[in-house]
Structure 1
Amino acid sequence: MEQGSAREGVRPAYAPGAFSRAPGDGRMPECRVPEQARGEQLGVERPGGERAGGERPAARPADGEQARGEHTHSEPPAPRVVQRHSVRGQILDALRAALVDGELVPGQVYSAPALGARFGVSATPVREAMQRLAVEGAVEVVPNRGFRVSERGPRELAELAEVRALIEVPVMMGLARTVPAHRWCGLRPLAEATVTAAAVGDRAAYAESDRAFHRAVLMLSGNEQLVAVADELHRRSQWPLVSGPATRRADLLADASEHTALLDALVSQDLAVVQALVREHFAGADR
């Protein structure tokens, strides 16, 4: 599950795949939605123009007839600021990926103009993105110079792992007891995405898919504030240590296998295995 600890040679306390199958044949249950229910949800029209569920579509106005209350003037063009924000968002994503990959080295100072030239944009969206990273704690503002990548040690990583465990472990255990098996089926593609990213050693893609999987699990709780807090802690735990080695491809593959193993245990409602997987994960995140 975790990629940000950047620990070399540390393996999970259990062998990869040890919990990869549920009792029995280990096959995932099929997730099927009845055709009638699917039609009602999507508003599929039946012969004669009637929609599923007995609802008929609203009549359309005749050609040339203006619907009452409809504005006839054209919409104003989108302001330029939207495009600037879009660039800033792309630069922010690129900088976050560079942090995870170790391209932005902890302790080093980077100027907005230099990074702008690297990305082929002006310094303005880079500076705005860096200000956002400063709020998150990933970088520090250095007056008249630029931004220094924050230096983090093992203690900070251990503290993040402890706080994440306090939040996520009891929530996951509660979900394991209450969420029906078919709800976990929808998370299978997210788990497979982490395996795909790990297989090619793409640390940035793995970090994003790892967080996406965790968010999807926690969203089943229905608590949006919890999801937002946990996701921010997860993001911060993925930043590299000041002296830590780069995460190896084998470590990413081992971590990715935990997602599929966890899903197998959740589908079979094997609470003992779920607890072992989740607690072992957070216990090893600070090593």
Structure 2
Amino acid sequence: MVPQHTPALPTLGGRKPSYRERVADALRAALIAGELRPGEVYSAPGLAARFGVSATPVREAMLDLAKEGLVDTVPNKGFRVTVVSERELDEYTHIRSLIEIPTTASLATTADPADLEALRPVAEEIVSSAASGDLIAYIEADLRFHLGLLSLAGNGHLVEVVRDLRRRSRLYGLTALVEAGRLEASAEEHLDLLDALTARDTERTREVMTRHLGHVRGMWAAR
């Protein structure tokens, strides 16, 4: 079930996101979490009712997602969620591992401990969202955490590349993990990662990040 709220996500370029951008972020999160299923057609009024907002910002947001290749427009019907192949998911995982593992590991020696600790409430939010089964809140907090962490490396282009890869991904297995009571354990890896970083343990950080991305790919595969 999609929560009846409009999320607060990271600011874009130092400014507060517009209402349309916030709706688009919520739709992306629902799509990534598998709440919006590949191949299915959704109408703007139907999604608006589901999110508790008006149809106009939903229609505008879906057009933004169409430009990103996340959905296709279906004349007189709405929008169809695009299908992502296993090969594409493998490629996304490979690119993310090449970027995120070494970058995150390097933060163990370069990041300000205060900046790392500032991310702990977000990591705890990921865990609480997993415990309550709120998949949209889980995706939103996970995005804030990982992009916030990568931003500490000081490379804005790197952050945008990872943001785009995450937008194109699909975490098909989240619902199954919630039902099996396993999502909370996966969520706690974010706290493990912070503990390794604040301990200045580069190898431990690399190990946790590698394992975490492996679990993410597993969730992508669990259709």
Q: 1:124 to 1:162 in 2, by over 3 A?
A: same
2:97 to 143, 151, 165: 165
Superposed counterparts of 1:92-131, under 5 Å: 92-116=24-48, 123-131=55-63
Superposed counterparts of 1:198-277, under 5 Å: 198-237=130-169, 239-241=170-172, 246-249=175-178, 250-277=181-208
- Cα separation, 2, equivalents of 1:190 and 1:132: 27
SS of match in other structure, 2:72: strand
> Is 1:153 matched with 2:85?
yes
- Cα separation, 2, equivalents of 1:192 and 1:117: 30
- Cα separation, 1, equivalents of 2:119 and 2:99: 20
Normalising by structure 1, report the TM-score: 0.62
- Cα separation, 2, equivalents of 1:163 and 1:109: 30
Amino acid at match of 2:77: R
- Cα separation, 2, equivalents of 1:285 and 1:119: 26
- Percent sequence identity over aligned pairs: 49
How far off is 1:279 after superposition? 1.6
Aligned to 2:7: none
How far off is 1:138 after superposition? 1.8
Q: Which moved more, 1:264-273 or 1:106-115?
A: 106-115
- Cα separation, 2, equivalents of 1:93 and 1:192: 21
Amino acid at match of 2:175: A
Kept after mapping to 2: 8 A contact 1:211/1:235: no
Q: Deviations over 1:132-168 (max 9, x none)?
A: 1112222112234321111223322221111111111
SS of match in other structure, 1:286: helix
Amino acid at match of 1:225: H
Amino acid at match of 1:254: A
> Is 1:191 matched with 2:120?
no
- Cα separation, 2, equivalents of 1:211 and 1:229: 13
Kept after mapping to 1: 8 A contact 2:66/2:73: yes
Q: 1:216 to 1:137 in 2, by over 3 A?
A: same
Q: 1:173 to 1:93 in 2, by over 3 A?
A: closer
List, as ranges, runs of 4+ consecutive aligned residues in structure 1 with deviation greater than 6 Å. Answer: none
Q: 1:279 to 1:115 in 2, by over 3 A?
A: closer
How far off is 1:240 after superposition? 4.3
Q: Tell which structure's C-alpha radius of gyration is larger.
A: 1
- Cα separation, 2, equivalents of 1:109 and 1:155: 24
* Bigger relative contact order, structure 1 or 2 (CA pairs below 8 A, ≥6 apart): 1
- Cα separation, 2, equivalents of 1:94 and 1:279: 27
Aligned to 1:281: 212
Number of residue-to-residue matches in the alignment: 199
RMSD (Å), alpha carbons: 2.4
Q: Which moved more, 1:255-264 or 1:100-109?
A: 100-109
Structure having the larger proportion of residues in helix: 2
